[in-house]
Amino acid sequence: MRFFSAAPLLIASTALTLLAGCHAKTDSANEGKGGKKNTGPALVDVLVARPTAVTDSLEANGAVVANDYVELHPEVNGRLTFLNVQEGRRVSKGTVIARINDADLQATLQKTRAQLQVSRLSQDRLEKLLKVQGVNQADYDLAVSQVRSYQADAAYSQAMIAKTVIRAPFTGVLGLRQVSPGAYVTPATIIATLQADTKLKVDFTLPEANGSVVRPGSVVTVQLAGTPPRRYPATVVAQESQVNQTTRNLTVRAQLPAGAQASPGAFARVSVAIGAARRSVLLPTNALLPGDKSDQVVLVKQGKAVLQNVRTGDRQNDQIAIVSGLAAGDSVVTNGVLFTQPGKPVKVRKAKAKQQ
């Protein structure tokens, strides 16, 4: 007689019961009222298309530059005896920034002036004698030459003394001080920087192929960093006469309007208009479905999702222009695009009636 254990049978029976219970719970969760599966419409946000005037543009990187900028260097060697660098302060044209010890040059000038005085007295005496033929012409000419030589030496000493004084060449804002009083400086020493910030410019580069889209007098849009970002119209004043052979880019310079708040050297993003304005619909970039042959958007028509082929234009930050394929009043899905299916019902959660 054989005996069978009841434990394996009991375990198998329990497992089948648990599986049956899980399957029943899953079916119950997928069923709604009346025992049917819950397949509700996808929730979406839509934007009602409103065509506006949009101009295609080209984005370029640039930098703010001062109208005038200079590094203040001494023109002669010597020790600083006076330094007037008020960092970050505005100074007027001609303001004395620094002085260099000129004692030796002053002594040389005094000596030359004394010799000049004696030579002039000698010239005057010889001139009187020449009138009565008491001296020959050669002696008088030599005295005249001596006077002119000392005059030239005095002028040279005065010029060297003038070089010991460093003045502001134009009205502007001083930068940081690079030396201290008492330092020995040479023409290679930078004392400070000076830049005129009343007229600011923007230098930016364009690809060689797009160099013809701007001309002197053209207006571009300059965006500067900030919270919120600052935008200014700038007028093109000139462009480089040749293309950079390394980058194949063309440098363009534009003048910012008076009162523009910017620091020289700041990064600037320049938008250059290409062509005339045309009627387009601006959509958020997340509303677009890129495709191999054509880009598409999802429209809501009679409560259902419909795919629509569109042609895109310029992209501006987080928006893109739809050149064709949309008509005024079309409801375009902006959020929930990936949850829609062509021909399936959708439920509009939020609708915007105008462009933001």
Predicted confidence at residue 51, as pLDDT, reads: 82
Q: Do residues 156 and 305 both lie within one domain?
A: no
Same domain, 225 and 260: yes
Question: Is 208 within a domain?
Answer: yes
What is the rounded average pLDDT for all residues in the chain? 84
Distances in whole angstroms, Cα of residue 36 to Cα of each of 22, 24, 30, 31, 251: 18, 14, 8, 5, 68
Domain contains 259: yes
| Alpha-carbon span 111 to 134, nearest angstrom | 31
281 and 343 belong to one structural domain? yes
The predicted model gives 55-63 an average pLDDT of 82
Rounded distance, CA 179 to CA 74, Å?
12
CATH of the domain at 291: 2.40.420.20
Is residue 250 predicted with pLDDT exceeding 70? Answer: yes
Evaluate whether residue 17 is within a structural domain: no
**Count of structural domains within the chain:** 3
Angle, in degrees to the nearest 10, between helices 137-163 and 103-131:
160
Mean pLDDT of 75-92: 94
Summarize pLDDT for 186-223 with one digit per residue, the tens.
Answer: 999 999 999 988 889 999 999 888 888 888 998 999 99
CATH number of the domain enclosing 139: 1.10.287.470
Distance CA 222, CA 326 (A): 31
* 85 assigned to some structural domain: no
Indicate whether 37 pLDDT > 80.
no
In sequence order, the β-bridge partners of residue 65 are 201
Residue 331 pLDDT > 60, yes or no? yes
pLDDT band at 16 (very low <50, low <70, confident <90, very high): very low
How many CA atoms does the CB half-sphere of 45 hold within 13 Å?
9
Q: Which of 223, 250, 273 is the last residue of a domain?
A: 273
> Among 259, 260, 324, which residue's Cα sits nearest to residue 54?
324
Mean pLDDT, rounded, for 290-317:
86
This prediction has a pTM of 0.60
- Asked if residue 81 belongs to a domain, the reply is no
Give the Cα separation of 212 and 114 in Å (integer): 67
pLDDT at 275: 65
Distances (CA, A) of 177 to 17, 73, 88, 98, 141: 87, 12, 10, 11, 53
Cα distance between residue 317 and residue 285, in whole Å = 9
CATH of the domain at 236: 2.40.30.170
From 273, 302, 317, the end of a domain falls on: 273
* pLDDT, tens digit, 9 for 90 and up, residues 127-143: 999 888 888 999 999 99
Q: Where are the alpha helices (DSSP H) in the chain?
A: 7-30, 103-131, 137-163
**Of 138, 163, 188, which residue constitutes the final position of a domain?**
163
In a domain, residue 96? The reply is no
Judge if 202 and 62 occupy the same domain: yes
Domain-located, residue 90: no
127 and 147 share one domain: yes
Stated as kind and residue range, the H or E segment containing 326 is: none
- Residue-range definition of the domain harbouring residue 150: 102-163
Highest mean pLDDT among 151-155, 239-243, 332-336: 151-155
More confident residue, 91 or 293: 91
Confidence (pLDDT) at 260: 87
How confident is the model at residue 356, as a pLDDT? 42
Are residue 281 and residue 304 in the same domain, yes or no? yes
| Domain assignment of residue 312, yes or no | yes
pLDDT given at position 225: 86
- If one compares 55 and 32, the residue with the highest pLDDT of the two is 55
